[in-house]
Amino acid sequence: MTFMHSTDKESWTRCFMTETLKIALLQMTSGPDIAENLKAAEEMVREAAAQGARFILTPENTCHMRSPQSEKLKSAPVEAGHPAIGRFSSLAQEMGVWLLTGSLSIRLEGEERIANRSYLFDDTGKTVATYDKIHLFDVDLPTGETHRESDLVRPGDAAVVAQSSWGGIGLTICYDLRFPHLYRALAKAGAKILTVPAAFTVPTGQAHWETLLRARAIENGAFVLAPAQTGEHQGGRKTYGHSLAVGPWGEVLADGGDAPGIALAELNLADVDKARQSIPALRHDRPFDLKDSE
């Protein structure tokens, strides 16, 4: 597994390991119009900052959710001209907050595909890290709902831990949640906070969302922050909502319910060390062979 680490020395000079952090998870119902979605997201970021949040997270597909996939491809801007990147960078600087844009659709030049990409901005507006979704949602659900994300999205190939004044932040997106080895690798690489911006379907959300998020938190002794899409989108797609903040002992700290809005939580970063000292499982991995029964 390839790892990317942010290495902003200026940020490290300014940083100190703070013990508490107020976070905000923005729950959205993104539509097909990028400008409208960015306006809605900006208003929520401003409100969250006014309520004291220092780390604000938006969901997957913040810029737009559009159907069919061919229309999303046509409407996705290239990175150099993407209206969300400069806007969120400036907003982070203006508000003096760290801002994770859960994911944007980035048209890849020379390809008929996009990147599903997260952007992490620090409180000066600098892009600290980006992450391209590794695991793509290709499923046929029992309800008859079918998704082929790989038809549109080029998968990423690098795990990312960004450095912050609160410790390492491990970046993931949505379907990554079902691959626990990714989160263990991020935790072992120094992540104390794991982010999971998502657009979970309703049936999988009802069955698995909270259970998987709490499991990833417990397994790694880390905070898990999961801002989500909710409601009905263009083409009839429905998302589950319930943005969750989960503590390193598996406790739910905030639940965004099923309506658009802001879920706030106060994180005590010392709880990570307490959980990992109580159950030091990250230090207990052992090599093993897998044998077939004879």
Residue 271 half-sphere exposure toward CB, CA atoms < 13 A: 19
133 catalytic, yes or no?
Answer: yes
Rounded CA gap, 162 and 172, in Å? 12
SS (H, E, C) the chain: CEEEECCCHHHHHHCCCCCEEEEEEEEECCCCCHHHHHHHHHHHHHHHHHCCCCEEECCCCCCCCCCCHHHHHHHCCEHHHCHHHHHHHHHHHHHCCEEEEEEEEEECCCCCCEEEEEEEECCCCCEEEEEECCCCCEEECCCCCEEEHHHCECCCCEEEEEEECCEEEEECCHHHHHCHHHHHHHHHCCEEEEECCECCEHHHHHHHHHHHHHHHHHHHCCEEEECEEEEECHHHCEEECCCEEECCCCCEEEECCCCCEEEEEEEECHHHHHHHHHCCHHHCCCCCCCCCCC
Q: CB–CB of 216/194 below 8 Å?
A: yes
15 catalytic, yes or no?
Answer: no
Rounded CA gap, 240 and 209, in Å? 9
Catalytic entry in 60, 63, 72, 192: 60
Catalytic entry in 63, 72, 174, 192: 174
> Which positions ≥6 away from 171 have C-beta within 8 Å?
100, 118, 120, 129, 131, 160, 161, 162, 195
Catalytic entry in 63, 72, 133, 192: 133
Q: Tell me which residues are annotated as active site.
A: 60, 133, 174
